Amino acid sequence: MTTPILLVPGLNCTAEIYAHQVPALWQFGPVTIANHAGAGSMREIAASILRDAPPEFALVGFSMGGYLAFEMLRQARGRVLKLALLDTSARPDTAEATEKRRAAIALTEQGKFNLAVAQSFPNAVHPNHVGDAGLKALHVRMATANGGDTYIRQQLAIIGRPDSRPELSAIEVPTLVLVGDKDAITVPEAAREMADGIADARLVVVPRAGHMALVEQHAIVTAELKEWAAR
């Protein structure tokens, strides 16, 4: 019996962020990539995704997609059969992170969305990948496809997200927690915190990867997701 798999992208990401994983996961069940671009708050976005989701599914959340995964669990815990949390965190925004998000929002409102996107790239990848033209082009391409209005809505939703750490112990499904070893946005310490708090969790730290481990080390991430899907 196959299990539907639902993939939730991150901030400023399109379906392309999962381009390497979809063909590999298809053997385990039908794969859907959620549209998280429309609504405003985490609660609203999660509810919208759940309306279109299968009755039961394995859930993968990358970055903002992980924040949404926690909200989806709050709204429909019994529908989630497995969970994969990729380069994300259960913590709420820090004051410093919120300040940076509001600065990026301000740039976007001033018509400088391209500058906000360009400034965010170096922090999103491993230091060795800052000069990677292909990764940078992907980063810009996905952001451009989403546009500034979606970027602002998503940033505000992220700022307003709750602390999900008190709910980690209630997660009782097989869970993969994966993080790039040099993730500067959702740090490895936050991944360990999630893995320690979830009873049936496996932690994987991906070498030579930053926040975008999905594409920086896609072969490693895909292999880990296949192992998780086969469990």
- Provide CB contacts within 8 A for 66, sequence distance 6+: 8, 85, 86, 87, 88, 89, 186
Could you tell me where the beta strands, DSSP code E, fall in 67-193? 80-86, 175-180
What does residue 7 show for φ and ψ, rounded to 5 degrees? -105, 130
46 pLDDT exceeds 80?
yes
186 pLDDT exceeds 90?
yes
Mean pLDDT of all residues belonging to the chain: 97
pLDDT of 38 reads 78
Q: What are the CA-CA distances from residue 25 to residues 131, 161, 217 (Å)?
A: 30, 29, 16
pLDDT per residue as tens digits for the range 201-210: 999 999 999 9
CATH number of 5-93+156-230: 3.40.50.1820
pLDDT per residue as tens digits for the range 93-104: 999 999 999 999
In the chain, where the domains are located? 5-93+156-230
The helix (H) or strand (E) run that includes residue 205 is strand 201-206
pLDDT per residue as tens digits for the range 9-34: 999 999 999 999 999 999 999 999 99
R_g of the chain, CA atoms, integer Å: 16
| Lookup: tokens for 156 | 């505000």
CA 159 to mean position of chain CA atoms: 15
